[in-house]
Structure 1
């Protein structure tokens, strides 16, 4: 009888790479392999428990021999479906990344990442402008980190633009009060670093594609915007959805809750250090 080989899967996307790392580090020790990380992302996975190899072809996770991954499934987070195929231990899938050394900015601030790898997931520029203006009015510093090779959005005076790599973004997020972004890699990076993530989900669902550890600050309109009369699937993308239907007030409210939760965490940490 032929021996079934493990099935390697590769990705060059940040969010999928974070899921791949979480799955690989949750594989039982008897099956463990080094994690092959896409070269631009490799430094964020170093100095963790799992050895890392930088690979120019992409990040890699491995389904166990005979393991089948059908792709994202309705009602199941993509990381959980990957873990099933890999034979990973589910109770270890929420592992956090250790912060990278080196600060990019001092003080407390909100990070806005307006871009996504897929355009139909993005929120309109005018909506971002309103949220940034309101945030500045509340006395919050706002740092806008656009995607690589993406044009900067128009933003009110007072917002700060920073052009950073993925590694730079990881350092920037370390001290952030929260992140606000559409469904994208930065959402998963913030979540893995323990930073509150206000994810904007309409074209996709948080059930399958949201932050793995904490979805409580995300806005999910996917089911609400789903085509009427069709059988619902949390794994389905909605390329024709109008993300402008996500109200500005709703995003601001979620952001305020995220900032307040981070302040509570800081106070708790200070008390523990007393």
Structure 2
């Protein structure tokens, strides 16, 4: 027997802690819920860094969980919400940590992924599951929660807040001149082979300067890996062409830099999805992950896609034979991307003056 869905939920909990790209892809679902039930309260339990990106999102109450605090942090969050009962808990993170966290929350109905998408046995922690959706993009998987609840308007809107202080931060870096923004590194996690070469980026930077008069701003986090890659890129370029602010911006400042860039280039990482959310033209560099599942949603036509080549070269299979979402964890996979591939997509992007689709419903795409 299926647990009934509420007709008009009064208080909805969204449980999605990380990561930056994922929370950007989730925002259209939150906007769809707000359109369907404008009087409902929405509480989003989110990670600390992700909150600094989303802070100020209209109509959303945030409860911040710092993953570094472990079980003590969970207990503190449970105490904070001990007097709160949700009509709906949308369990939107397929991770055991999030499932354990959900156990201390009070909710009339817990909704999660179908068994095929429920990693870490997430379906054991929910009462209703989504309908199967094979080969779904991450953004569409989030919208499946709205579909299950009967939400009618699934048009894509974000309206991420970019405060004036962030705009001033960005202008202090770029001035008024047009620029290309490159975020060269993905999250420096174990076996996360998503980074392209310094030589490749330098070739693209030189092309953008010579052909379009665009200087380049390098952005990213403050890890040693990211800073060292930025230094290698900068050493290969004339100094007047590159501004390196890797590790030196706030997340809101990064949003402002992305929003106002002439174009953005990055591997599968948060900035490609931030750009997508802001309507900023973006070239995603993909070889270890499938862009049909995790590419910048509205700009997938401009992705450099070497994922099929990587699957054949390093896994010796056809992409059709792999489980959906499987990564190619090989350190040489991104070397399949050539500078001329990126330049070609950049040229196509610069020739297009507007975002491909601002508010298209995924059901009409």
Q: TM tier, shorter chain?
A: 0.7 to 0.9
In 2: Cα distance, 1:7 partner to 1:54 partner: 10
Aligned to 1:229: 317
**2:110 counterpart of 1:65:** yes
Quick one: structure 1 residues 136 and 54, their matched pair in 2 at CA, closer, same or farther if it must change by over 3 Å?
A: farther
Task: Choose between structure 1 and 2 for higher RCO, CA contacts under 8 A separated by at least 6 residues.
Answer: 1
Equivalent position SS for 1:143: strand
**Paired position in structure 2 for 1:84:** 144
SS in 2 for 1:116: coil
Structure-2 residue corresponding to 1:257: 348
Name the one with the larger helix percent. 2
- The SS at the match of 1:65 is strand
CA RMSD of aligned residues (A): 3.1
Q: Which residue of 1 aligns with 2:17?
A: 11
Structure 2, unaligned runs of 5 or more: 6-11, 68-88, 92-108, 120-132, 356-365
Q: Are the equivalent residues in 2 in contact too, given 1:71–1:81 (CA < 8 A)? A: no
Aligned pairs, how many? Answer: 262
Task: Tell me: CA distance 1:23–1:71, structure 2 relative to 1, closer, same or farther (3 Å).
Answer: farther
On the 8 A contact 1:36/1:53 being kept in 2, the answer is yes
TM-score after normalising by structure 2: 0.63
**Cα distance change on mapping 1:46 and 1:151 into 2, 3 Å:** closer
Instruction: Encode CA deviations 1:148-194: one digit per residue, 9 max, x unaligned.
Output: 32314222122111221221110111211110000000000000000
1:129-164: CA deviations, max 9, x gaps?
222222222221111112232314222122111221
Task: Give the whole-Å Cα distance in 1 for the aligned partners of 2:161 and 2:333.
Answer: 35
User: 3-state DSSP class of the match of 1:229?
Assistant: coil
More displaced, 31-40 or 250-259?
A: 31-40
Is the CA contact (8 Å cut-off) linking 2:13 and 2:45 kept in structure 1?
A: no
| Aligned-pair CA distance for 1:10 | 3.2
Residue of structure 2 equivalent to 1:244: 335
Please show how residues 199-218 of structure 1 align to structure 2 within 5 Å. 199-218=284-303
Q: Which has the larger radius of gyration?
A: 2
Q: For residue 55 of structure 1, report the CA deviation from its aligned partner.
A: 1.0
- Are the counterparts in 2 of residues 39 and 54 from structure 1 also a CA contact under 8 Å? no
In 2, the alpha carbon distance for the partners of 1:50 and 1:196 equals 27
Q: Distance in 2 between matches of 1:167 and 1:52?
A: 18
Secondary structure of the structure 1 residue equivalent to 2:265: strand
2:213 is aligned with 1:185: no
Matching of residues 18-33 of structure 1 within 5 Å: 18-27=24-33, 28-29=36-37, 33=42
Structure 1 residue matching 2:217: 3-state secondary structure:
strand
1:52-201 matches, cutoff 5 A: 52-53=61-62, 55-57=64-66, 62-63=90-91, 65-69=110-114, 70-71=117-118, 75-85=135-145, 87=148, 89=151, 91-92=153-154, 94-98=156-160, 100=162, 101=164, 102-103=167-168, 104-105=170-171, 106-117=176-187, 118=189, 119-138=192-211, 139-149=213-223, 150-152=226-228, 153=230, 154=232, 155=234, 156-157=237-238, 158-162=241-245, 163-201=248-286
